[in-house]
Structure 1
Amino acid sequence: MIEHLLPAAVRTRAAYGDELDRVPLHPEEEPAVARAVPKRRAEHAAGRACAREALAALGLPAGPIPRDNADRGAPVWPKGVVGSITHCEGYRAAAVARAADILALGIDAEPDGPLPDGVLDVIHSTPEERAALAELTAAKPEMHWGRLLFSAKETVYKAWYPYHHRMLGFEEAELLLAHDQSASGPARGTFTARVLVPGPLLADGVGPALFTGRWIAHAGLVATVIAIPAPSES
């Protein structure tokens, strides 16, 4: 899934089903799931296993990936690395890149099904989002656009968080989805997210307010990614 959406500088590893759920955690990773139920612990272990294999593919040591101490517990990557982890029912994946190549990276995957009742009211709030979602639903009603919107907003948060280290509410990013009608095979497209809160520059001349990403729906899953290339020295 995600490997079809990301640039060549990014290394990925994905696992379907419970392929990696029983891989042991490093001691430094244990505190994050010390009180977790077995299902959550297994997903966490598989996500970390995917991340270590992706790091190895990047030519880096496959060491522990602990969580930071913030509320959401984002992964702590080796120095000079950006990365992201996702897991949902039947799918776990990680993506990593050298910070010299990719400035910001976020991935998310979700089951391709309707959102639970009430969730859609929480994740979109602007008139533009509501109008765009209605148009997409009318044009392609078999797609679960609300679920895709949720996934894309999660991806925005994952790409945004390392530079701000605080929560980004669903209402703090306005996101517009686009469907690629010319694409053959699985449904796919792009999205644009405008962050509605101020923040520091990601790099010299690279602002934090606008993110663009890609999405795909295939085999019962939807996946979204953001990969912002690092500015070239020139």
Structure 2
Amino acid sequence: MSDAARAPASTSGGSGAPRIPGEAALRDLAVALADVTPGPLASRVVPIDGTYDLFGIEARAVADAVDGRRREFAAGREAARQALAMLGVAPTPIPRAHDRRPIWPAGLVGSISHAAGFAAAVAARDRDVAGVGLDIEAAAPLRDDLCGCVLTPTELRRRAAVPMVAGVPRCKVTFAAKEALFKAVYPITLGFFGFLDAVVDVGDDGSWTAVLRDPPAFPRADLRIGAGRWAAAAGMIAASVCIETGRGPPR
């Protein structure tokens, strides 16, 4: 099959399929995404409903995956293509690198996330931001046995003092922020870091900041981690962050 062809991501349904979000939930989460992806960023959210096609190179990347994973992958690529369309980019393959990160078209950066029946993506031109990370999560608390793996001692103390922030679990906003941070930094540096290597401070105004234990080895001196944003809607949390250049933050 040529890479220009589009193949169905799934050919079976079944009772094990995840729930499909309703239109109201999709609208609410789209508004939240717009809040956390301002200025030159374009974002879209779609339901994971098994209706999206893949380019050949994409389909081959998940040919051996279980049906649910293929559905997630296809919905994420659909959200990404819709975000790119907002930037005037025609439908194009978004292959997967050997380390599983999306390979965006030349001159573009982006991030994909999926959870609880939603797939979301953000895209931007690399003249505006050097990188961007997005994560969506269900707004349920982290299990207690996971908190010590995700939260630093400083973050655990903050959680103990103020467990909720703007009506959602602080621990889950922190988790989403760290996921978004990794997705923004890693494609630039190709350097791994863990949850406990970053300390995140979440504000109830929809902001968050992060400090990495080891500063990222950015290839240019003018790159920096920007101020993060987060929002909650439709039982979900969305968090994003940009890698900014010396030309200033996203408008």
Pick the TM interval, shorter chain. Answer: 0.7 to 0.9
State the shift of 1:80 in Å.
1.0
Secondary structure of residue in 2 paired with 1:45: helix
Question: Could you tell me which residue of structure 1 aligns to residue 193 of structure 2?
Answer: 168
State the shift of 1:39 in Å.
1.2
Establish whether residue 213 from structure 1 lines up as the match of residue 213 from structure 2: no
Equivalent pairs, count: 217
Residue deviations 1:184-217, cap 9 Å, x none?
A: xxxxx2111111124323533334xx54201111
- Structure 2 residue runs without a partner (length 5+): 1-31
Whole-Å Cα distance in 1 between the matches of residues 168 and 215 of structure 2? 33
Instruction: Pick from 128, 143, 146 the counterpart of residue 116 of structure 1.
Output: 143
Check 1:10–1:142 CA distance in 2 against 1; reply closer, same or farther (3 A cut).
closer
Establish whether residue 133 from structure 1 lines up as the match of residue 159 from structure 2: yes
Whole-Å Cα distance in 1 between the matches of residues 64 and 146 of structure 2? 26
Task: Give the residue type in structure 2 aligned to 1:201.
Answer: F
Whole-Å Cα distance in 2 between the matches of residues 211 and 232 of structure 1? 12
Counterparts of residues 1-234 of structure 1 (less than 5 Å):
1-16=32-47, 18=49, 21-70=50-99, 73-125=100-152, 127-137=153-163, 142-180=167-205, 189-201=206-218, 203-207=220-224, 210-232=225-247
Check 1:170–1:151 CA distance in 2 against 1; reply closer, same or farther (3 A cut).
same
Give the CA RMSD over aligned residues: 2.0
TM-score between both structures, scaled by the size of structure 1: 0.85
Is contact 2:46–2:78 with CA below 8 Å preserved after alignment?
A: no
Residue deviations 1:17-69, cap 9 Å, x none?
A: 52xx3211111112332222111110110000111111122112321001111
Secondary structure of residue in 1 paired with 2:54: coil
Is contact 1:82–1:97 with CA below 8 Å preserved after alignment?
A: yes
Divergent runs of 4+, >3 A: 139-142
Is contact 1:215–1:222 with CA below 8 Å preserved after alignment?
A: yes
Whole-Å Cα distance in 1 between the matches of residues 229 and 219 of structure 2? 20
Task: Give the residue type in structure 1 aligned to 2:134.
Answer: I
TM-score between both structures, scaled by the size of structure 2: 0.80
- Structure 1 residue runs without a partner (length 5+): 181-188
